Amino acid sequence: MNNEHQIVIDEVLHLLQGGNAHAGLKKALDGLPANMRGVKVDKLPYTIWQLVEHIRIAQWDMLEFSKDGSHQSPNWPDDYWVKELAPANDAAWEKSIKQIDDDLEELIGLVKSEDIYKKIPHGDGQTLLREALQAADHNAYHMAEIIVIRRLLGAWG
């Protein structure tokens, strides 16, 4: 592997882990009171719980697409957004966060071990690089929304 290739991989990994100009999930959720997970702020279409679940579902879909030719993506947009405003309990919250973390680690493992430029055989031109960048971009976008909701609720910093 040449030096330029390693630089790209290192930057993608840093981006996936919440580096550079945006907060990672742990920081976005750190100190969030449990009773605010399902609070809907006026004129915003979703709660923090719905955003967390959306991040989980979308990231899982990108990961599975990257590695499994038989993967069937959920129906867009209905299956990417949960209807429930809040998690059923703390266990549901923790399970969702754990899956996000586990799937992210698996995606990071793919980026470290696979050819990020090779076209995904069952795709229509996508590469692992594209999927990893899309996951990082998507996650950062919605983590920023979580922080905005927290600010509006008076529960940030």
pLDDT tens for residues 101-132? Answer: 999 999 999 999 999 999 999 999 999 999 99
Q: What is the token pair recorded at 94?
A: 């923790």
Torsion angles phi and psi, residue 127, rounded to 5: -125, 165
Torsion angles phi and psi, residue 128, rounded to 5: -65, -35
Domain ranges within the chain, ordered by starting residue: 3-152
DSSP state of 86: S
Mean pLDDT of 130-146: 96
Residue 18 has pLDDT above 70, yes or no: yes
pLDDT-based confidence at 135, cuts 50/70/90? very high
> Using one digit for the tens of pLDDT, what is the confidence trace for 66-105?
999 999 999 999 999 999 999 999 999 999 999 999 999 9
Mean pLDDT of 31-58: 97
The CATH class of 3-152 is: mainly alpha
* Nearest Cα residue to 46 out of 130, 157, 148: 148
Query: Residue 68 burial (CB < 10 Å; 0-12/13-18/19+)?
Result: exposed
Percent of the residues in the chain that have a pLDDT greater than 90, as a whole number: 92
Residue-level pLDDT at 23: 82
CB-based contact 121:129 (threshold 8 Å): no
